[in-house]
Structure 1
């Protein structure tokens, strides 16, 4: 019997070209996806009203699934709309700043260029970003104060990390991952996942599970790089591009296909390590609680969604 069939269905992944990634991982799709779509549409409407026009498709995808519906398929239905709203905004890289290239917002790691780049429009966009951020946090706090504070903390950390380290010349993938795991929003999405589950972790559980999920964060960060590289390369020269594929190219003097192969293999290594650490945790802890079992299961569903 499928213990998670109440909120989601398993999806046949054979029709997707995953480039060999996500092996031994399952993909699920939320049964209440329409709630996620509603959250996305509301967020996009607020974005247009308070910040400016959108040029990206966003989280709604009726063919392959709403982003929130497939990355967080175990989310409680009564919290899914709000979770999707927050993920659609995804302001972590833009709160409180408009950079010199007039990049005023990031939505699913895609840059949204402002059509009107006058000082007045930039000020309006920055004020709008702040408004939507505060609106997100306020709504989260009203529903679940403990989980909301964790989201706010990871969100703030992501913004600070991106702002501080975005111009670092990384000399190894390991050093880059210390930045990219936070920059890509992995801890932020994990915090939203906990909110969606209505779940809190004790300090000891948090510490123990932090070790377990670290390879998951690494795999998610590199997978994001792997699939976004071609698009990013059209916008930024590889000599300055902050992407693991470009970094490997620079460090090892490799061509694009070879560098992408190395990153693909590195992702698969982290995916296998994540499953190994889950098994190790279960063996060391003995019978684990239903809560921790659900937490680990929910984290695994993020892997296949990124492929």
Structure 2
């Protein structure tokens, strides 16, 4: 019997002869179906809302991007798997050479080899750390006096947009190994890196005249520019450390938290639980029996 004292058969007959009861039952079934669908979707979120466990992709537990390339610096690329140096120079560096007295002029980009499968979110209060290694042999010049002169310059791209540039005048050119460390505070242009179009890229530029003096009669004055890769055996640190956070912790440029109550999610949890809770409450309200009808129609 139900709350009205009806057996299952009597309740079914009541529904057959009471259009209002039939409509109420239909509404209950619809709401229950919607709630069940949403519940199934949210429960499946860990498998669908995050990228598969791919070591070449960025994540909170895999924030280090590594650089690889060919021995002649004709190609340079990056990804997040420190163990995958496929196609990269076995010597651990790429180099360009220039004749004695020739301008040592270098400009190349290291771009992401793979598209991101998910957006990359950075801590707005964090710092991007870029570490590279170079070895340069050239003469000196003054960038303020010579338009063809350029100290080592690094530029970080988000897709095709430059988000940061830094000049390193202290980097020597006496054919010594030089470790370069660049810390970039995250700003509003760096908090979100959209998949498939805004992967990071690093541009490397340098231009100074080659050595051309009397010593070149007996010494090798070939100009050289080396760029070390992440698999080098010379002790050079070559990687980028991104302060990656989960989507639910991300803060947009306007200061609104993506995972807060505004979009129905819970900070630090799976998005959508707020919406699910609201719909569940609505469903319970619809399913609850009407107290005003305690007796069957006569």
If the TM-score is normalised by the length of the shorter chain, which range does it land in?
under 0.3
Greater share of residues in strand: 2
**How high is the TM-score relative to the length of structure 1?**
0.21
- TM-score w.r.t. structure 2 length? 0.21
The structure with the larger Rg is 2
**Higher RCO, Cα 8 Å, sep 6+:** 2
